[in-house]
Amino acid sequence: MSKPMIKNILVSQPAPLDIEKSQYKILIDKHNVKLTFKKFFDVNGVTNKEFRASKINILDHSAVIVTSKLAIDNYFKLSKELRVVIPESMKFFCVTESIANYLQNYIQYRKRKIFYGKLQFSELIDTMLKHKEENFLYPCSEDTSVENFKLLDKNKIKYTKSVMYRSVPNDLTDLDITKFDMIVMFSPIGVKSFVQSFPGYNHQKIDFAAFGISTQASLKDAKIKTIIPAPTPITPSMIMAIDKYLSLTPEEMSEHEEKIDEEFNKKTDKKASVTLKVTTKRTPKPKANNND
C-alpha cells in the first residue's frame, strides 16, 4: 500500500513575510509540497464604547495574560484610546517567548516583569501559580478556547475575561478548493469560514491538520476528521506535526488513520456513529510512487 500523495497544502493564515526564512521552508524542501496561504478570517477590535460598556478597568489589574500578538495589539490600542498609562509594575504572562518579545513594540522590555511558557497554555498556568496574589486581566477574542478558562478556574486564579477583539469569517469561495490535498486550520473561526464557504463539498478528499483542542472540536462538530492534530508531546508545533505525518511509511500511515478513525468515532452516540461510518469513508487519492 502506497501512502496518499500530498502535494498542495492550503494554510489558513497570511503568508510569512519571508517564506525562505520561515519554518514552512522545511516542508517545501523536504516534502516538495506547494503551499498556498489564505486568511480565513479578519480581526476587528472592539470600540471604546463597547469596552466601556463591559465596565472593566484595565488598571484594576496587576498582571496581563497574553496568548497572542493580536491580544497585545488590542490591549495597548484600547489603553491608548482610553488614555490609560500602563505602569511599569504591570506584569505580563505570555504563552511563548516569541509573543513575549513582541511586547517590545509597545514597552521597554528590560524594565518590565515578563514571564512566558514554552508553547501551551497549561505550561503558563504553572508560572502563574507562583504569582497567585496577582489580579489578572485576560484580553481575548469571543472565540477563545473555553479550555483556557477552565484551567484558570480549576487552579483558582483570579482573572477577568476581557473581549477586546472579534474574528469575522471571510468568504473563501474564490478558492478552487478541489486542488488542495490538505488544509491547515488554527482556530474555530477558520473552521466556520470553511464550512460556510463550502457547505456541500466532499471534505473526505482532504486531510485536515488542526492546531488546538477547540479547533479540533470545531472540525468534529462539522463531521470532519482531524488527521493531523497538534500540539502533542511529540509534535508541539504544527510544522512538526505535518512533517511527521508526511514522513510516515505506508504501513505507519495506515495505522495512523486507523487510530484517527477510532478516536473520531468513540465519543459519538450510537445514532451518530451510524452516520459517521458513511461520512468518514475516504475518497481514494492519487497514489504516490514510493520513490517520490
Q: What is the pLDDT of residues 58-91, one digit of tens each?
A: 999 999 999 888 899 999 999 999 999 999 999 9
What was the pLDDT predicted at 66? Answer: 93
Q: What is the CATH code of the structural domain delimited by 43-167?
A: 3.40.50.10090
Arithmetic mean of pLDDT, 48-56: 94
Arithmetic mean of pLDDT, 9-13: 96
**Residue pair 166/46 in contact by the 8 Å Cβ criterion:** yes
What was the pLDDT predicted at 248? Answer: 93
**Would the pLDDT of 94 be above 50?**
yes
Neighbours of 253 (CB within 10 A): 17
**Would the pLDDT of 277 be above 80?**
no
CA distance 70 to 258: 37
What was the pLDDT predicted at 4? Answer: 55
What was the pLDDT predicted at 227? Answer: 95
Residue 185: name the closest of 150, 152, 225 by CA. Answer: 225
Q: pLDDT (tens digit, 9 = 90+) per residue, 113-129?
A: 899 887 778 889 989 99
Quick check: helix, strand or coil at residue 223? coil
Torsion from C-alpha of 60, 62, 64, 65, nearest 10 degrees: -110
Arithmetic mean of pLDDT, 132-152: 89
Residue 36: name the closest of 140, 196, 179 by CA. Answer: 179
Pick the CATH number of 8-40+172-279 from 3.40.50.10090, 3.90.550.10, 3.40.50.1170, 3.40.720.10: 3.40.50.10090
Least confident interval from 167-181, 214-228, 234-248, 275-289: 275-289
**Would the pLDDT of 274 be above 90?**
no
Q: pLDDT (tens digit, 9 = 90+) per residue, 157-200?
A: 999 999 999 988 999 999 999 999 999 998 888 999 999 999 87
Mean of all residue pLDDT scores within the chain: 86
- Assess whether the previous peptide bond of 16 is cis (omega < 30° from 0): no
What was the pLDDT predicted at 105? Answer: 92
Residue ranges covered by each domain of the chain: 8-40+172-279, 43-167
Confidence of residue 280 (pLDDT cuts 50, 70, 90): very low
What was the pLDDT predicted at 106? Answer: 92
Q: Fold match between 8-40+172-279 and 43-167?
A: yes
